[in-house]
Amino acid sequence: MDVNFQTETKTLVLQLTEEIDHHTTKKIRRIADYEIERYMPRKVVFDFHHVTFMDSAGIGMILGRYKMIKMLGGTLELSHVNQNVHKILEMSGVLKICPIQEYSKTN
């Protein structure tokens, strides 16, 4: 995962670079929590540009970070979500609370 913090907008961008399943969510969660506590951003963006697969463990990871950033007074957004991941996010209801910044219609 690549991490980028933009000081002028207080935005933390977490670029996910692997499949998001029960094997990888613990690592992603640990890094995301550390970076959120380190920077205290106003907005967190999960960039799904390189993610081809996500299961229910990924949904749990997103919801946990959403609750954390909401308690800190910030917002969580998603970007570069492909069609497969979009379908999972839509069916789970995540899109009702986490908007997509940029949607990629490619698989």
Strands 11-15 and 43-47: parallel
Look up the CATH number of the domain holding residue 77: 3.30.750.24
Burial class of 77 by CB neighbour count within 10 A (0 to 12, 13 to 18, 19+):
middle
Structural domain boundaries enclosing 10: 2-103
Note the residue count of the chain: 107
Tokens 């917002």 — which residue?
75
pLDDT at 9 (0 to 100): 93
pLDDT digits (tens, 9 = 90+) for 2-53: 999 999 999 999 999 989 999 999 999 999 999 999 999 999 999 999 999 9
Tally of structural domains, the chain: 1
